Structure 1
């Protein structure tokens, strides 16, 4: 069968053709005709160019001239008139070179991917900036999964992406997950027993949030990642590593990207949890053939991420340098660990015998199993009536089935608000279970 062409992948075999993974729409997607002008400009000396081909506004009409940013440590950073002029104009679809270069060096330091080279192979890594990390996840699902097809995922996943694939009748195939995260034994079982005659084409994309996961707060160990990666190699699966919480870990666990010898990992990252969600700057770092195709798709949709956001972030991180950025992230990770420790202290005070949980040790979310109830919806309804808001477990279910779980977000709430919420949850559960 045609679908079996890409099943086997031998040891130390870098992928050379990603079209085997692309769905039909992606295969048919071509660069917009205007790209021929961009290509030609790169071959012509800049000093001899006269641009009458584009629709760029005249920059003398831009009302913003310069700006000064004051950082939290009191340092001031200036956006010069030249930089302001640059960021207010249309920019490169892939992102501005200065910030892209900074991110590439960060990834070299932190992940040091085996395929990060200048070989120009389809599996050699390339970087794309996007309007938020979510864009990269959604586009990957759109590129690799056919309408009516499926992808591999944990039983509960990041819920905001589901409205983008459910209308296409795409479904997530749930892989069992326990305290260690996605179970590689169950993953292999599902793939080995897959019947294409009755189930359709076997999935060839795995979606996972491996660090301080949203919603469960779980972090995969290095060994668990290696085990999952080996299964992905055996069945030639691409791994969509959605990892915006990576730097919120107290101790950084090596990423899937860091162990990717084949070029099967597409890493999606973001500045949302490290610097600011409002800047809406995401990162896709993966095989060149995939990233180039995603840039072609992004060009007519968004034209690329915000120029002014790119310059703001670039000025901050280039002023700091990589070492100071990583020190900043250590401070942020410590802050969130303290918030989780405080939450757990209130849970131990009020919820023993009413709930079960495994402390996340940081991040932004705590996953809780409610005891004595079959589903979380009635509990959450009563909480909302009392002014306490938590996320239902069912909205994270890859199959949208009801679950006796809730997600507690602890990043922003004060100690007093935490205690109120947890004591209210205890009261609601006692009411529903008729506990005096």
Structure 2
């Protein structure tokens, strides 16, 4: 078979993790909560203060709205806005109305945190789906807070920008979501590659890298781990619950924060518990979005994490963007309010089933044409399939020949932490018809045979 079989947890892993001793300020008890996140902030983040206008925002929120006269903010008069109302038709045939009052709200400046109504809806969804242990409203630095951002990518980039010094480093798999690289490379921030197997990041190697870290020659030991744990972009892998627990235990030992970038979570056929759901310490920053569930064009991301981190991110977001798109928030809020949490989750079951079928179809063509030419582990769902090309050292010549024939795939090097060439490609099958899938895979087979001189 051309598939790579899924392996079990690395032998001896539980024994290796059981022998760990907690370092830094975090103990391995289940009730240890992080008390001060400034230890993780870089110097620029520590020096960042709220914009002077922030005091007006705070005062206004604590003053009764009755009788207020607003001559402070630079808000345009909504009388001059050309859009008055709208009717939206959903895919299930239902129609929702955006009233004139809602339209004015969506066309105006709004809170940097995001509108309270949609934040409450997401908050309740997270309580229901993830049941985070630190979601206790206790006011502790590790208690959870929620921020809406201009797309999920913004939250990822901001977290790395806040928590890693210029010239510093963070932990990640050898191949990662490629769009974030241009944001940290100019700051000479580097990713420290952690090996992965068919189940994703290897906790034994993670522990080894951290145990052997020499701050004298390598600089400060990394204290942030980045991961796309569900149906990863680019590899399509999903971390099992046990693998997440093992990685979390290593993170506890070495006092590491986990940046859980999880926009594909609801595309799983079975919802594996998230890092957030097992986070007893308050060391997980979860980044999510509506991009894969409702619409990427709306550009609404979600950051759910320790209060002290999210509040600092809000202070940074305020002068940078003013917050996420208000009209998009109104539209999404109307849709999810109309559905409720039950119908939203039913919708996601339907979406997950669709992508599973697409992956099944892709794999059937790969087995037909690529056996002996490639290796792969079926993603089983999601949008991406990672493929190892056999008999070639790098994917670029293969991708170039495919493009000449009208077939476009992604080079593996684009996703490499070090941007080095590798014999891998990423296939995104979400929008491709069965006929197009067969054409692409058969063309890939032809190209590989030509390069390997196989008749």
**In 2, Cα distance between equivalents of 1:131 and 1:141:** 16
Query: What corresponds to 2:7 in structure 1?
Result: none
SS of 1:78's equivalent in the other structure is: strand
**In 1, Cα distance between equivalents of 2:110 and 2:408:** 40
Whether 1:150 aligns to 2:133 is no
- Deviation track 1:42-93 (CA, whole Å, cap 9, x = no partner) reads 2221112111111000111111111001000100000011111111110000
Which of residues 18, 27, 31 in structure 2 aligns to 1:9?
27
Query: What corresponds to 1:307 in structure 2?
Result: 326
Query: What corresponds to 1:118 in structure 2?
Result: 137
**In 1, Cα distance between equivalents of 2:186 and 2:27:** 33
Whether 1:362 aligns to 2:404 is no
- Deviation track 1:4-58 (CA, whole Å, cap 9, x = no partner) reads 9945434221001000000000000000000010111122211121111110001
Query: What corresponds to 2:19 in structure 1?
Result: none
Unaligned 5+ runs, structure 1: none
Matches within 5 A, 1:214-229: 214-229=233-248
Whether 1:321 aligns to 2:371 is no
Matches within 5 A, 1:346-425: 346-425=365-444
The TM-score with structure 2 as length reference comes to 0.94
Which of residues 411, 418, 428 in structure 1 aligns to 2:447?
428
The answer to whether the 8 A contact 1:154-1:182 is kept is yes
Detail structure 1 runs of 4+ shifted over 6 Å in the superposition. Answer: none
SS of 2:148's equivalent in the other structure is: strand
Count matched residues: 433
Unaligned 5+ runs, structure 2: 1-21
**In 2, Cα distance between equivalents of 1:242 and 1:10:** 24
Moved more, 300-309 or 47-56: 47-56
Query: What corresponds to 1:185 in structure 2?
Result: 204
- Deviation track 1:348-388 (CA, whole Å, cap 9, x = no partner) reads 01000000001000100000000000110111011111110
SS of 2:244's equivalent in the other structure is: helix
**In 1, Cα distance between equivalents of 2:214 and 2:421:** 27
Query: What corresponds to 1:162 in structure 2?
Result: 181
Query: What corresponds to 1:93 in structure 2?
Result: 112
Query: What corresponds to 2:6 in structure 1?
Result: none
- Deviation track 1:156-206 (CA, whole Å, cap 9, x = no partner) reads 000000000001010000000010100000000000000000000000000
